[in-house]
A = this chain, B = another copy of it.
Amino acid sequence: MVATVTPLHRETPASLDPIMALVSADMDRVNEVILARMQSDVPLIPELAGHLIAGGGKRMRPMLTLACARLLDYGGTRQHKLAASVEFIHTATLLHDDVVDGSGLRRGKRTANIIWGNPASVLVGDFLFSRAFELMVEDGSLRVLRILSHASAVIAEGEVNQLTAQRRIETGEERYLDIIGSKTAALFAAACRIAAVVAEREDAVEQALDDYGRNLGIAFQLVDDAIDYVSDGETMGKDMGDDFRDGKVTLPVILANARGSDEDRRFWKDAIEGRRVSDDDLAYANRLLRETGAIDDTLARARQYGQKAIDALAGIGGGKARAALVEAVEFAVARAY
| 7 closest residue pairs by CB, A with B | A130-B153, A127-B156, A130-B152, A133-B149, A100-B119, A126-B156, A42-B161
Task: List A residues at the B interface (Cβ < 8 Å).
Answer: 40-45, 92-93, 96, 99-101, 118-120, 122-124, 126-127, 129-131, 133-134, 136-137, 140, 142, 145-146, 149-150, 152-153, 155-157, 159-161, 163-164
Task: Report whether A118 and B133 are in contact in the complex, using a CB–CB cutoff of 8 Å.
Answer: no
CA distance A140 to B124 in the complex (A): 27
Q: Which residue of B lies closest to A37 (CB)?
A: B153
Residues of B within 8 A of A42 (CB): 157, 160-161, 164
Task: Report whether B153 and A131 are in contact in the complex, using a CB–CB cutoff of 8 Å.
Answer: yes
Give how many copies assemble into the complex. 2
Task: Report whether A163 and B123 are in contact in the complex, using a CB–CB cutoff of 8 Å.
Answer: yes
Residues of B within 8 A of A131 (CB): 153
Task: Report whether A137 and B130 are in contact in the complex, using a CB–CB cutoff of 8 Å.
Answer: no
Residues of B within 8 A of A122 (CB): 96, 99-100, 122
CB distance from A183 to the nearest CB of B (A): 10
**Of B100, B133, B140, which is within 8 A of A152 by CB?**
B133
Task: Report whether B130 and A160 are in contact in the complex, using a CB–CB cutoff of 8 Å.
Answer: no
Residues of B within 8 A of A43 (CB): 164
Task: Report whether B153 and A134 are in contact in the complex, using a CB–CB cutoff of 8 Å.
Answer: yes
Q: A40-B157, A44-B163, A130-B152 are in contact. List 8 more A-B contacts (CB 8 A).
A: A92-B126, A99-B119, A100-B123, A122-B122, A126-B155, A130-B153, A130-B156, A133-B152
CA distance A131 to B146 in the complex (A): 11
CA distance A120 to B160 in the complex (A): 7
Residues of B within 8 A of A164 (CB): 42-44
Task: Report whether B130 and A149 are in contact in the complex, using a CB–CB cutoff of 8 Å.
Answer: yes
Q: Which residue of B lies closest to A120 (CB)?
A: B163
Task: Report whether A160 and B45 are in contact in the complex, using a CB–CB cutoff of 8 Å.
Answer: yes
**Of B96, B118, B137, which is within 8 A of A149 by CB?**
B137
- 23 CB contacts below 8 A, A to B, read A40-B157, A40-B160, A42-B157, A42-B161, A42-B164, A93-B126, A96-B123, A99-B119, A120-B163, A122-B122, A123-B156, A123-B163, A124-B156, A124-B160, A127-B156, A127-B157, A129-B152, A130-B155, A133-B149, A133-B152, A137-B146, A137-B149, A140-B142
